[in-house]
Amino acid sequence: MTTSLRTYRHTCIHTLTYSHIDHRNSTNLGPNAISTPASMRSYLFHKPRLSYTTRAGSKPSICVGCGAAFQHHSPISAGYIPELAYSRKASITPAAIAKLKDSIEPLSPSQVKTLINASKEEKVVPICQRCHNLKHHNKSQVPATFSTVHSQFKSLKTRTGGLVVLIVDVYDLPCTLLPNLRDLVGMKNVIVAINKIDLIPKKDTPKQYIDWVRSRIQTSRHTGPISIIPISATKGTGIDSLVKAIVDNRNSNEDIYMVGATNVGKSSVINQIVTHAGYKGFLTTSNFAGTTIAPVPIPISSFGTQFFPNSLGDISDPDHDARKDTGHLIDTVGTYNSQQLTHFLASTEFQFVVPKTSIRPRKVNLRPGKNIWFGALVRLEIVKTKTASSFWFYGCHVLPIHGCRESRMASLWDEHAGINSQIMTPPYGKDRINALPPFAIASESRYNKDGTRIWLGGLGWIVMYGELHFRVWTPGGVGIYTDSDPTSEKPQKVTL
C-alpha cells in the first residue's frame, strides 16, 4: 500500500510517495523488532521519493532539471519535451528495502540515520530536451535569457521567513558576491557558501577567502551573514558543514533558497546535498549561463534525516516528523552580472579559462612598453616601471598568456586574435572576435604597492609586484577589480 502527501507550491504539486512495508506483523521483522519504537520502524520503511505531478493528474508539469514548464510545441523554447516521451510512464525500480526486515536490531540514532539513507530508490524523472542535450551532449539550441530573473525574485523578496544560501565562486569572488542581494531576497537570514574551494593554490588556506568575503560585506544589525562556509560541489568538501549551518539556523517548515550568479555551481551544490542524503543528483548542470530557467522546489521531506540532526528524536516524536515538514529547498535562477568577462565566451570555451584542479601560479616579468594578453579578453599595458616588476597569474594553466611590444600589438591582433590557439584565444573565430565590444580601460594604477591583486572577471586573478604604472583593457571596460590600490576601482561593498 502507498501513502501520499501532496504539498501545493507555485503551479505544481509535489507528490511524496512512501513505499510501505507493513511493520505490524512482528514475525516479518525478526525477534528484536519489538524493541524498535513503532514510529521509528514506520519511518524506516517510508523512504520518501520525489516526483512531480499536476493538479489534474499524475503527469509531471515541470522539468526537474531546470524548472521550465513542459511544453510540446516549440523545440527551440525552454521546457520542450516530445509528446511521446511525456506520455511514457517513467520506470521506477524500488530499492531492495525488504532485505532490511530481517536485520532490524535496537538502533542508535546514528544507525537509524545510516539505515534510512541506505534505503535508496532508483527513479526515472522526465526532463526537457534542453536538459537532455546539456547533460549528454553539452549543447543547447535554446538561447539563454536573463530578462525574467528579477521578476522571479520579486515574490521572494516580500515573502516572510525563509533561509537564503548565497553561493559564490572562489575563482570570481568580486562578481559573484552579489551587491544587490537584499534587493532580490529581502531581509532574510543569509549563509554564504564559497564554492570551488578545491581550486585555490596549495599555499593558500580557505580562511583567507573567508576573511576576504567577510571584509567585503558591510554588516548591520540582524543583516550580516550567519555563516561563511567553504565548499566544493565537485568533491563534496564542506557539504556536511553547509548542511549543519542550514540545520542550525532554519526553523521548521521554512524554505531554503539557493541563490547565486550564473555558473557559480548552485545546482551542483544541491546535487551534492541530494547525494549526501542517499539519492542520485538530478538537477541539470552545465557550463551554459542560465541553465536553471525557473525555480526548482524540492520538498525537505525528500531528504530523509539530512536536515534533521537529532534523528532519533525527530523520528520518535510525531511533532518533529520529517515527513510533516512542509519546507522546500529551492534552486533559484542564476542572476546575471554584466561585469563577468566569461559572458563573452561560449560554453565550449570555458575549459580554457576555468581550472579543474588546484591553481598553479605562473610568473611573468614586466618592462615598460610591454603588453600582456590573457586570451583575447584582457590586455595588461605596462606604461612605466620604477623598479623591477613582475606579476603572478592565478588561473587556468591552458589559458594563453602572450606578451608583445606596443608597436607589434595591432598586427598581432589582426593576424592571430581568435585564430591562433597559442595566443589571443579564446574566444575562437574572427566573427566572434569582431563581435566583442571595443576595448576600453577597465582599471588604471600608478605605482601600486607590492601585492596588489587584480581580479579578471572570471578568468582568475593576478598579483602585481614592483612600482609600476599600468592599465588593464577589456571589452567594454568591464570586469576588473583590484583589492588594495586606493586609486583604482575596488570591489563594491555588499550589504547582507
d(C-alpha 45, C-alpha 318), whole Å? 16
State residue 49's pLDDT score.
41
- The string of DSSP letters for 224-287 reads S-SEEEE--TTT-TTHHHHHHHHHHHPPTT--EEEEEBTTS-HHHHHHHHHHHTTS---S---S
The predicted-structure confidence for 154-192, as pLDDT tens digits, reads as follows: 777 888 889 999 999 999 999 898 877 887 788 889 999
Asked if 353 and 387 sit in the same domain, the reply is yes
d(C-alpha 89, C-alpha 83), whole Å? 12
Asked if 413 and 293 sit in the same domain, the reply is no
| pTM of structure | 0.69
Q: Among 128, 33, 27, which residue's Cα sits nearest to residue 72?
A: 128
Residue carrying C-alpha cell 510517495: 17
* Mean local confidence (pLDDT), 360-375: 93
The CATH code of the domain that includes 310 is 3.40.50.300
User: b/e for 185-211, b at 16 or more Cβ within 10 A?
Assistant: beebbbbbbbbbbbbbeeeeebeebbe
Contact at 8 Å (CB) between 485 and 460?
Answer: no
Our CA angle for 346, 351, 354, nearest 5°, is 105
Asked if 411 and 393 sit in the same domain, the reply is yes
Cα dist. 401→322, 350, 376, 426 in Å? 53, 16, 9, 11
Q: Among 269, 268, 277, 282, which residue's Cα sits nearest to residue 301?
A: 277
Residue 106: inside a domain: no
Residue 223: inside a domain: yes
Asked if 152 and 215 sit in the same domain, the reply is yes
**End residue of a domain, out of 318, 336, 354:** 336
Residue 52: inside a domain: no
Asked if 217 and 321 sit in the same domain, the reply is yes
Containing structural domain, residue 391? 343-495
Residue 119: inside a domain: no
State residue 335's pLDDT score.
81
Identify which has the larger pLDDT, 214 or 6. Answer: 214
Bridging pattern class, strands 163-169 and 256-260: parallel
pLDDT at residue 59 above 50?
yes
List the helix and strand counts (H, then E) for the chain: 13, 21
**End residue of a domain, out of 272, 302, 336:** 336
Residue 289 CA, chain-centre distance (Å), reads 11
pLDDT at residue 47 above 50?
no
Asked if 397 and 307 sit in the same domain, the reply is no
Asked if 374 and 330 sit in the same domain, the reply is no
**Mean pLDDT for the chain?**
74
State residue 276's pLDDT score.
78
State residue 139's pLDDT score.
61
Percent of the chain at pLDDT above 90? 35
Asked if 217 and 267 sit in the same domain, the reply is yes
State residue 46's pLDDT score.
35
Residue 431: inside a domain: yes
Residue 364: inside a domain: yes
Indicate the SS3 state at residue 397.
coil
Asked if 476 and 417 sit in the same domain, the reply is yes
Residue 379: inside a domain: yes
State residue 378's pLDDT score.
97
Q: Which residues contact 119 (CB under 8 A, 6 or more apart)?
A: 44, 45, 47, 95, 97, 100, 278
Asked if 234 and 166 sit in the same domain, the reply is yes
The predicted-structure confidence for 409-467, as pLDDT tens digits, reads as follows: 999 999 999 998 889 999 999 999 999 999 999 999 887 777 889 999 999 999 999 99
Which of the listed ranges 127-141, 193-207, 264-278 does the model predict with the highest average pLDDT? 193-207
Number of domains in the chain: 2
**End residue of a domain, out of 296, 315, 336:** 336
Residue 92: inside a domain: no
Asked if 194 and 319 sit in the same domain, the reply is yes
Asked if 396 and 449 sit in the same domain, the reply is yes
